[in-house]
Structure 1
Amino acid sequence: MILEIEKVKNVWHDVKDILSVPHTDRQYKKLVKILDELIDEVGNDEKHQLAPLLETIGNLIEEYENDHFIQPNSEPVEVLKFLMQENNLTQKDMNILGSQGVVSEILNGKRELNVRQIKALAGKFKVSPSVFL
């Protein structure tokens, strides 16, 4: 096993940018560009020598996207929680939804968002109201 690590250490400087989880938008965009180039090269050939690299980079990109982007078809409360987290907001900051009790019920899935609340959230977070439907 130590021999394998030594091999990786010898080439890590050259490959670390494409084999590391992206932590910034810039790193993410670079990986997306590399993935596009790999897709052109590998295509649907699962036996291509670069197919495992394509899969690995795809997984790294997916990890970043899951942490930084709203997923399609997410439940409205999950979208709200995501946006609150991304903007460092707490339940107390969400008074546009109503009282603390109302906010708590929404965040715990005991109450659905109404039209007024959806419009207010869309304005606050500058997103389409459809993300809350």
Structure 2
Amino acid sequence: MEFLVDHDDLENPLFELLCARISEYEKHAPEFKALNQHLEETPPGVSVLRTLMDQYGLKAADLANELGSKSNVSNILNGRRALTVNHIKALTQRFKLPADAFIE
């Protein structure tokens, strides 16, 4: 797989076959069961927010202005609170993303 990617051979039918097999394995392998369940239960907006925080190296305190407070950010990330329309507006302005990136 790495060889195909490193050699920019993404149009190779072998690459597509390997991607399909890996995807199928990850869906059904017991060691991925908990991860897959967690991903299915996590709202898309929270997944996007976690990814942005990771990519930009942000902590909960860094988003307190957009989401109300550090504890509010933690509550949203842990599923105890949902993103509101005002939160989404603030996040779209900060990250220059469309609102639908944070909506199911």
TM-score by length of 2: 0.64
Residue 81 of structure 2 aligns to a residue in which SS? coil
Distance 2:68 2:74 in 1: 10
- Does residue 55 in structure 1 map to residue 39 in structure 2? no
- Does residue 92 in structure 1 map to residue 61 in structure 2? yes
Gaps of 5+ in 1: 1-15, 40-50, 63-73
Distance 1:131 1:99 in 2: 22
- Does residue 129 in structure 1 map to residue 99 in structure 2? yes
- How many residues in Structure 1 have an aligned counterpart in Structure 2? 81
C-alpha distance after superposition, 1:10-36 (max 9, x if no partner): xxxxxx9x517x6xxxx6xx63xx222
Q: In the TM superposition, what are the counterparts of 1:29-44 in structure 2 within 5 Å?
A: 31=8, 34-36=9-11, 38-39=12-13
Distance 2:75 2:16 in 1: 43
Shift of 1:54: 4.3
2:26 matched residue in structure 1: none
Residue 80 of structure 2 aligns to a residue in which SS? coil
Q: Quick check: 2:61–2:69 contact (8 Å CA) kept in 1?
A: no
What is the percent sequence identity of the aligned residues? 33
Gaps of 5+ in 2: 24-42
Shift of 1:55: 2.7
Q: In the TM superposition, what are the counterparts of 1:7-18 in structure 2 within 5 Å?
A: none
Q: Quick check: 2:67–2:73 contact (8 Å CA) kept in 1?
A: yes
**Larger relative CO (CA 8 A, sep 6+): 1 or 2?**
2
C-alpha distance after superposition, 1:76-117 (max 9, x if no partner): 111100111011111110111101221111111110111111
Q: What amino acid is the match of 1:94?
A: L
Which structure shows the higher helix fraction? Answer: 2
Larger-Rg structure: 1
Q: Which runs of 4 or more aligned residues in structure 1 lie more than 6 Å from their structure 2 counterparts after TM superposition? A: none
Distance 2:50 2:79 in 1: 11
- Cα-Cα RMSD: 2.6
